[in-house]
Amino acid sequence: MKRILQSISMIMTLSLTAQSYDFGIVSDYSGTGDSYDFTFVATPDFDNANPNMADIQLTVAISTGNTIQTNSFTELFGTDWQVNTALTGTTLQGFGIGDGSRDIWVFSLPVPTSALTTPHSTGVGIPMLSFVVDNMPTSGEIAILENNDPIATGLAGIGFVVDNVINADLGDGNGTQDYYGQTDPTNNSFIFSSLSVGEILDNTLEVNLYPNPAKDMFGVRGDISRIHSIEIYTINGQLVKTVESEFDKISISELETSVYILKIYGDEIRSKTLKLVKH
């Protein structure tokens, strides 16, 4: 019994200390105001001063009818990124896979001719690649395709592997392994309707947010006497908070560190949509 308990303890310890990178996509990572400019970010759950990245692959799914600019790629880490595949929903259906509502795009950075290294810290994302959805859609979504998604498993069944992968040698004696963990829970998909930000209806509601970025509290400044409610959404379009009073001091201590979309509703037809960054 003692040996069994020791074995269980060792397994639990290994599972708790496993190292991995989570994959996310971030809208307007550079802060230019272009919500349809997406950046692929790999976020480690460990510190490493000299990891050797050997082979990376990211697969995204986008609602059919929307397109990614094939000349819009900006390489932020590595210089040989490739778009291996762009399979339409119709093509996938021809293989008996999916319902035709999603296209997939596969981006890969093959084994480089020289080592790619970047020191990193726990929880700090590493920007890899940026690209633009060029038709500025107001419906549908873009998301990282999970490795267990029926499209991914269906393609694997016919010999076409689109799994998310990040092979690396961490210098710990274990050689090169795949350290992909999961999709970032807060930045794995975006509903396009939430990205159509800026002033909506009209721009006569003259307000702004302060401080922005904020930590636990922020307020609305300006024409707040005309405001009757504020809705706070995640960048993925999920409503997380509604505020109907005290607009000059709004607590966000319960919200996770991320970027949020605020829809501020005023009297008559006045309304405004703003971005808030929570640290």
Q: What is the pLDDT of residues 113-139, one digit of tens each?
A: 667 888 899 988 899 999 988 878 888
Burial code (b: 16+ CB inside 10 Å, e: under 16) for 153-169 equals ebbeeeeeebbbbbbbb
The answer on 137 and 37 residing in a single domain is yes
| Residue 237 included in any domain | yes
Determine the pLDDT at residue 113: 66
Query: Above 80 in pLDDT, residue 30?
Result: no
Last residue of a domain, one of 168, 193, 218: 193
Does the global pTM surpass 0.85? no
Query: Above 60 in pLDDT, residue 2?
Result: no
The answer on 184 and 241 residing in a single domain is no
Last residue of a domain, one of 141, 165, 193: 193
Least confident among 189-193, 198-202, 251-255: 198-202
Taking only the tens place, the pLDDT of each residue in 46-99 is: 999 889 988 999 999 999 988 888 777 888 888 888 887 789 999 999 999 999
Determine the pLDDT at residue 270: 66
| Residue 183 included in any domain | yes
> What average pLDDT does the chain have?
84
The answer on 26 and 156 residing in a single domain is yes
pLDDT bucket at 166, cuts 50 / 70 / 90: very high
Instruction: Give residue 270's domain range.
Output: 207-278
Cβ–Cβ contacts within 10 Å for residue 124, how many?
10
The answer on 266 and 158 residing in a single domain is no
Last residue of a domain, one of 165, 193, 221: 193
| Residue 227 included in any domain | yes
- The total number of structural domains that make up the chain: 2
The answer on 179 and 251 residing in a single domain is no
| Residue 268 included in any domain | yes
The answer on 133 and 256 residing in a single domain is no
**Residues 6+ positions from 43 with CB-CB distance below 8 Å:** 21, 22, 23, 24, 123, 124, 125, 126, 184
The answer on 235 and 156 residing in a single domain is no
The stretch 158-178 carries a mean pLDDT of 93
The stretch 191-198 carries a mean pLDDT of 67
Determine the pLDDT at residue 9: 43
| Residue 115 included in any domain | yes
| Residue 11 included in any domain | no
CB 196 within 8 A of CB 37: no
The answer on 243 and 123 residing in a single domain is no
Query: Above 60 in pLDDT, residue 259?
Result: yes
| Residue 134 included in any domain | yes
Q: Alpha-carbon distance 44 to 124, whole Å?
A: 7
The answer on 108 and 29 residing in a single domain is yes
| Residue 4 included in any domain | no
Q: Alpha-carbon distance 77 to 64, whole Å?
A: 29
3-state secondary structure of 238: coil
Domain with residue 225: its CATH number is 2.60.40
The answer on 134 and 91 residing in a single domain is yes
